[in-house]
Chain A
Amino acid sequence: MKHSKIYTISILILALLPFLLTNCEEVMKDFELKKTQAQIVIDAQCSSFTNTAIVKITKTGDYMNPGEYPKVSDAIVTLSFNDTTIVLPEEFPGEYYKYHNFPENTLYTISVTIDSKVYTAQSFMPKKVELTNLSYRVSEYSSYMQTYPGELFYVSKMEFLDPQNETNYYRIKITKNDTLFKSANDILLTDDIYFNSDTIEYEPFYFFKTNDRVTFEFMSIDKANYLYYTTLVQAMTSTGNFSVPDNPTSNFTGKVLGRFIAYSSDTLSIRISE
């Protein structure tokens, strides 16, 4: 719905003013954004699927020149769970890694010390929820049929059994031929408040062609990260014109951007044939 909203607005405006289809766009030459002090960003992940903990520490950069984010080195990064504490060494500048067998159903605590300031966060790694099936069918979606007559488009459907008596939060990642769909609108999230403990089928609006290899990664995440991703999508998609955007809600203590996620996941792949 979120994605379709901006689209809907523009369609409405277009439909309202068919004789003005050239609604005007113009580059604003003298437009400037405020310069602000760079802020520390911690992107910390820990997965039972990859058995890896990865922490990337950077700083914010100029909005008008994206892609240049200074790396933060010499941080002390430790990860604790149950009675274990491990240290993540800096393998590349600003990137701290450790391979380890991370148990599910466990609370993880991360601690990052930068210039004697300590930032901590906790994340609960839920037990993996398995995908029970992945299938596909020819899409009857009319718009695509009209735009590309004669070509067949497929949609893919995943199924899983939502566990009883608990609230679950999920994120789904979709990959086509080894390329991850990775725009803000590809952050597919759901909780189970509407369908607790049931077999759930999900057929997202992604279209594939014959011979495509489709992979669904089904991540089980905790509530704080569900909120983080929800607010992340808003921060990425909001233009500020029709709503008031804000920074994503972090689970770190201290004034820092980013978040710490501990997650489990399951994947299924399928090749589409005629």
Chain B
Amino acid sequence: MKHILLFILLFTASISYAQKYTISGYVKDASTGEVLIGASIFIVGTNNGTFTNYYGFYSISLEKGNYQVEYSYLGYTTTTNFVNLTANKTQNIELSESVEKLQTVVVSAEARDKNVSSTEMGTQALQMAEIKNIPVLFGENDVLKTIQLMPGVKSAGEGNSGFFVRGGGADQNLVLLDEAPVYNASHMLGFFSVFNGDAIRDVKLYKGNMPAEYGGRLSSVLDIKMKEGNMKSYHATGGIGLISSRLAIEGPIIKDTSSFIIAARRTYADMFLVFAKDTNLKKTKLFFYDLNLKTNYTFNENNRLFVSGYFGRDIFKFQEMFGTDWGNATGTVRWVHLFSPKIFLNSTFVYSSFDNVISVNSGVANIDLKMGINDISIKEDFQWYANTKNTVKFGFESIYHTFNPGELTTDMEGVEISIDRKYALETGLYISNEQSLNDFIKLKYGIRFSTFNIMGPGTTYTYNDDHEITDSAEYKGKTFIKSYPALEPRFAGTFRINASSSIKAAYTRNNQYVHLIQSSTVSLPMDYWIPSTELTPPQICSQYSLGYFRNFKENIYESSIELYYKDLDSQIDYENGTNVFLNPNVESYLVFGEGRSYGAEFLIKKSAGTLTGWIGYTLSKTEKKFKELNNANWFPTRYDRTHDVSVVAMYDVNKRLQISATWVFSTGDAITFPSGSYEIEEFTVNYYTERNGYRMPNYHRADLGVTYKVNKSERYSSNLNLSIYNVYNRKNPYMIYFEPKDEKNPKELQAVKVTLFPALPSITWNFSF
């Protein structure tokens, strides 16, 4: 209750009623007509300024008078307008890309200090242009792999697109594609992410200090926005690589009013299998494809409609024996409406589904196991530019989840197993205000009221310690079985020391109501989601963070130090020996414990000039404790990597040639190895003493990329990209196993490491016209 009171006090104190007028509008890219997110609007000679929101909209209120308004965006030429403000004014601005990329330095000093001035911390924003320059495995640009190079973000393993934020689990990241949640963001064992670089425009990662409009996951929000499609002319971009090709087409449907983009991608690694000697491999199928679609229509200045969708599948088939087929589908319909220059409304309808089918032919029967989740949701987000000092956001979100924890069908008569589907309604109601108290202090405070309701039809069970059902209750459809309401306060504050440095602090509390049940850490699609129920409480996280931000040399260099501490509750694990598949009583095997994660993140970034890039370093620790596991002692999580370094550099040699390089280093994963062995019956059994008590060897690797622009004309450009993964051929172990030193003498073992990728070159030809 204290939080609410404080909130209301702050909020009411902040609204003032001076006679003011508003300048508002959209900032767009002059060549494509697409909106620019986070473009800076600055009133020269004052301390007033703002940024375009997620939809490219800005609004700023000023007293009557003459103003010089400066619009800027990284990589674009800054535009200055003179405004005589005597009434509310709409000013849509189009910015052009800087002709000479080498001179992108020409960006107004005041406007580029967002890093220091905003209340955001623990946040990383990336533009696709930046991501495309970073060398990666197989030459496939990848949003998720670039995110992993940021401090506080860790990769799930060699070549893997899975990521972990500040010690959080893989299922604690909310990944949004055009506001639709993506439940499994990886293709092909995690070597690729589901995000096709040609269809993506902007990426923003919140490492825990998520604003009140986001909720439902403990550890991060990765907000990915698809391109809208060129409003001016038709274009195609694409690439042909060693194991995949892609093509995107975009253009206006009605010039400056409506546009579309279609992007498709397909891998063909399995085509090489035809050359394999082994007949079993010959018949193996392994590929994925995905498709992004988006279209929009501008009715008038005040109304825009967007429709977008994603569809992707992974197919794997090993002979006639085993196969999997999994994928995501998302759809978003969004209506952006301006009530007035000061009130902005975004209404969204979202559909998202993830399902996977595992097929096994046992020789006797064909067995299909299907698991999945799907969501239908509506969302209303208001943004009210109350005055120059206050920007208020409020709205609600309501998601109807359907969980399918497992359905087994066979072609044998009468053999069918299905675990009851579960249904839930998740809602969030939020309000927040970003307030400039004075020239030094800026605050952002808000609260989210979330509820999770498990709904009928369904049966609930009570279990004894032996996992036997002792009682059950039947619920009809549309009834509420169990509700979890929670208040989630969010707070962030910035104290500006001077023009180039600030101190920030933040507190965030989050609840998570959906949980991933995993067989292992490999991204095999054998994972499924379950809701919080009477037996499974929501996961809870409180995060405290403190940071020092400092820019140098007119904001060309950004630097920051952030400290965080996370307190986690109701973390989920399983009892030893739990079978998670098709187990109707899986909930009775779950164990709940606590977690703690803390660390320091250092970042220096240079974002302009011929040499750009960043150096990130994270020092951190993540531990968990369960009554039932590891003798109730704290143990490190697998991805508790004490030291984590990433260096990213991109250098423009000349107009045609660009070189980029990355280097990563991290402490080895925590892992459980045996500390002895013994005999039971005729078996030799491993003896384990400590959970995650060992460490894999330290991991380090350098990648190199060279991009050569073959030609560039008005209409047509192409480039060749050569990238080398693991340049100095470091043999990082992917796994370690033990085997007899000598076949004849099984009494002496040795450790053997398996490495996945040696120095691995790849070449991709990219084009656009």
Contact = CB atoms under 8 A, between A and B. Distances in A.
Interface string A42-71: 010100000000001011111111111100
Interface stretch (B34-42, B82-90, B220-228, B689-697): B689-697
A4 B322 contact: yes
B270 A232 contact: no
B680 A16 contact: no
Interface string B678-703: 11111111111111111001000000
A177 interface: no
In the A-B complex, the 8 residue pairs with the closest CB atoms: A241-B735, A31-B751, A231-B577, A18-B272, A60-B676, A242-B520, A28-B751, A36-B675
Contacts of B520: 5, 242-243
A90 to B, nearest CB: 17
A52 to B, nearest CB: 14
Given A39-B687, A235-B688, A139 B276 contact: no
A248 to B, nearest CB: 7
A107 to B, nearest CB: 15
A99 interface: no
A60 B675 CA distance: 9
Contacts, number: 227
Contacts of A230: 577, 579
A59 B687 CA distance: 11
A238 B671 CA distance: 12
Contact of A140 (B363, B680, B755): B363
What band does the interface of chain A fall in when counting residues whose beta carbon is under 8 Å from B?
Answer: 35 or more
A38 B363 contact: no
A71 B281 CA distance: 48
Given A34-B693, A243-B521, A258 B189 contact: no
A25 B753 contact: yes
Contact of B686 (A11, A63, A242): A63
A182 B682 contact: yes
B698 to A, nearest CB: 13
Nearest to B358: A1
B304 interface: no
A133 interface: no
B462 interface: no
Interface stretch (B105-113, B395-403, B489-497, B742-750): B742-750
Interface stretch (A79-87, A118-126, A141-149): A141-149
Interface of A: 1, 4-5, 8-9, 11-20, 23-28, 31, 33-36, 38-39, 41, 43, 45, 56, 58-69, 139-143, 146, 155, 180, 182, 184, 187, 193-194, 203, 205, 223, 227, 230-232, 234-236, 238-249, 257-259
A15 B270 contact: yes
A142 B688 contact: no
B677 A23 contact: no
Contacts of B758: 20, 24
Given A33-B674, A41-B679, A231-B577, 19 more contacts: A1-B581, A14-B281, A20-B758, A27-B750, A28-B733, A28-B736, A35-B675, A36-B676, A36-B689, A61-B678, A62-B677, A65-B747, A68-B747, A205-B362, A236-B684, A236-B686, A241-B737, A246-B576, A258-B678
Contact of A25 (B675, B692, B746, B754): B754
A245 B319 contact: no
Interface string B299-333: 00000000000000000101111100000000000
A26 B731 contact: yes
Given A9-B522, A24-B754, A140-B363, A244 B691 contact: yes
Contacts of A12: 188-189, 286, 316, 524
